[in-house]
Amino acid sequence: MMSMENIKKDQSLHFLFEEMVLKYPGNTAVIGRQFSISYAGLNEKAEGIKNYLLSAGLQKGAPVAVMMPSCLEAVVALLGILKAGGAFLPIHPDIPAKRFLYLLENSDCKLLLFKNMQQQIPAGIRAADIMKEELFTGQIPVPAPAITGSDLAYILYTSGSTGDPKGVMIEHRSIVNYITWASRTYLEGQQLNFPLFTPLSFDLTLTSVFTPLISGSAIIVFEEELSKINLHRILEHEKVDIIKLTPSHLKMISRLQISRSAVKKFIVGGEALETSLAAGIAAQFPEVEIFNEYGPTETTVGAMVYKYRHGIDNSTTVPLGEAIDHMQVLVLDNQLMPVPEGEQGEIYISGAGLARGYAGSPELTRHRFIDHPYAPNERLYITGDIATVLPGNVIEFEGRSDDLVKINGYRIEPAEIRKILSTVAGVADCYVMARKTAMGELMLCAYYISESEIAVKEMKRVLAGYIPQYMMPAHFIRVKAFQLTSNGKLDKNALPEPGSVVLEEIVRPVHEMEKLLAAYWKEVLGLDEVGVCNSFFDIGGNSLKVIEICHLLKADVNESEEDLILLFFKYPTIRSFAAYLRSKKTSGEDEVQAEDLRVPQNRFAQMRQNGQDEM
């Protein structure tokens, strides 16, 4: 295997893949339920995309949007874009239309590759369906531009504190530094396979795509439409060796009964990893190594790592560890001076993994990427994360210095939600923050001031045009005024606890099956009351919570957990779900009457952006 010592500074990411094509042409590169493709075959398809993009006029460093689920075609698209000298821009297929337009305009993107696209193609965008054979046949080979380490590899958009999403621009040398480190650290010279089951727009997915492809290993694709039921199948798949996932995934795994597993390592990222959760997983999988990986998108997937020590680590959260190769992590005070051991400070990061900056936002780039006070010609990224330096220079996460939160692994800037909510007719002022549920989980709460009550459905309708479902507040609470602290800032502690969700219509359960479902809903959602006609997803539910409920319910009904999960998204109200279960029990029918379906069927597609799909 390659080491950083023999990787040239200007090496590109796709060159590392092409080395594996030459070394292991017959090795399986991607495996699906009904297909497999070799390194040579994958390279041939990527060459077809490269030739198409270059003939379409793609310029070096220009972005190409990739709007498709995590699938074989997505892997082909990413490689083809890199080969053509472009930068891939992953966009979730279910993104709200206005957010979609913003990403294209902000990144100055003119080319789009898609699969089964539901969105309308904007004017001025040249789009191609990757399922069409002509993209791969009949293309005249076009010489690709020379790519160096300073060229752009991809743009990933995250929630922005200014009220708009921000596009993080990552260069080839940054992703090459991370991926080669990941290959050495996690694979240790072996060929180990990764499952692909998280969206391309989530940067931890890059580990699962490119680490195997630069090592001669395989990607095992789990179709994203079924990702809500994939964890069990992934863990028991005989060829899955390493899984990159979030603590929210681990919580679901802790509730599963796994009879067999070939998994050797869990790489955990996206949010703080509680030591109690790591300990439970270590007991459940005693032979599996657990790595806690930390790194904002601006520092290229991962900047620090810590290998969990079962029975030894006993702090509240698993430490963040130490910097990866060619990265530097500092914990500094307000004067940019290093804090002593045992003291708290803010995390600053420098090194090979730093992003170029934010697309179309030079001022924000200058604000977040500052000159390094101790290293000439180097930059520091201000993370906003608060940490303590432990003995041995190990760093432990303590919290945030601002309002940014991570829910189900996703970075969310409440200011972005607030900006849109303030445009709702009748809203005089508003504030959005994260609060903990009775079960200790974070949820978003929106507080607003208005002369009269505003329908929650109307506020959600306006927000849904701009923000993905995982950013939708679980609670909307009207207040008379916002109280201020003595220094003139909003007093968060004075805001009322959400308590129970205020439902516009509460229809109480009647039949035993409705009562059973209502009890499970209240337990999992932490609510005092639920109505049988309210959609699960409108009162704080997400895909992970669906799995929890179905895990509880399977003992009470004659259905498998996987079937229950799929049915839940078809019948997302207690009344419709109970009607289906009762009708099947009495008559064996698989459908309920149309009038029982209170929620549109496209809710399934919309909810792919929640919980499990967005890990």
- Both tokens of residue 598? 């209170």
User: Is the pLDDT assigned to residue 544 strictly greater than 80?
Assistant: no
Percent of the chain clearing pLDDT 70 (strictly above): 90
Residues found in the chain: 615
Contact 444, 417 (CB under 8 A): yes
Out of 165-169, 216-220, 480-484, pick the least confident: 480-484
Phi, psi of 432 (to 5 degrees): -125, 135
Strand 442-449 and strand 429-436: the pairing is antiparallel
Report CA 124 to chain centroid distance, whole Å.
29
pLDDT of residue 548: 81
Where would I find the beta strands (DSSP E) of 132-234?
Answer: 152-158, 166-171, 194-196, 219-221
Residue whose C-alpha is closest to residue 281's, from 231, 322, 329? 231
Contact 434, 442 (CB under 8 A): yes
**Per-residue pLDDT reduced to its tens digit, 385-394:** 999 998 888 8
Distance CA 303, CA 249 (A): 21
Question: Looking at this protein, which amino acid is placed at residue 486?
Answer: S
Distance CA 310, CA 304 (A): 19
- The DSSP code for 337 is P
- Both tokens of residue 30? 């991607």
Every domain of the chain and the residues it spans? 405-494, 512-614
Distance CA 178, CA 320 (A): 16
Distance CA 155, CA 415 (A): 22
pLDDT of residue 587: 55
3 state SS of 604: helix
pLDDT of residue 117: 86
User: Is the pLDDT assigned to residue 197 strictly greater than 50?
Assistant: yes
- Both tokens of residue 147? 């790519």
Distance CA 503, CA 508 (A): 12
Q: Report the pLDDT averaged over residues 151-176.
A: 94
Q: What is the CB-side half-sphere exposure of residue 296 using CA atoms within 13 A?
A: 30
Phi, psi of 262 (to 5 degrees): -100, 5
Out of 65-69, 205-209, 291-295, 543-547, pick the least confident: 543-547
Q: What is the CA radius of gyration of the chain?
A: 24
pLDDT of residue 338: 96
- Both tokens of residue 259? 């009879």
Residue whose C-alpha is closest to residue 246's, from 524, 539, 526, 544? 544
Which residues neighbour 276 within 8 Å (Cβ) at sequence distance 6 or greater?
none
Selection from 26-40, 482-496, 516-530 with the highest mean pLDDT: 26-40
Q: What is the CB-side half-sphere exposure of residue 92 using CA atoms within 13 A?
A: 28
Model pTM score? 0.83
What is the residue whose two structure tokens read 């019948």?
A: 571
**Per-residue pLDDT reduced to its tens digit, 429-446:** 999 999 887 667 788 999
Residue whose C-alpha is closest to residue 599's, from 564, 575, 563? 575
pLDDT of residue 9: 54
**Per-residue pLDDT reduced to its tens digit, 234-292:** 999 999 999 999 998 898 888 788 889 999 999 999 889 999 999 999 999 999 999 99
Distance CA 164, CA 295 (A): 21
What contacts 24+ positions apart, CB below 8 Å, involve 277-280?
Answer: 277/247, 277/250, 277/251, 278/250, 278/308, 278/310, 278/313, 278/318, 279/310, 279/311, 280/254
Out of 34-38, 80-84, 481-485, 572-576, pick the least confident: 481-485
Phi, psi of 112 (to 5 degrees): -140, 130
> 1 pLDDT band (50/70/90 cuts)?
very low
**DSSP element (H, E) containing 387:** strand 379-390
Superfamily of domain 512-614, CATH level 4: ACP-like (1.10.1200.10)
What is the residue whose two structure tokens read 């893949």?
A: 17
Domain 405-494: give its CATH architecture. Answer: 2-Layer Sandwich (3.30)
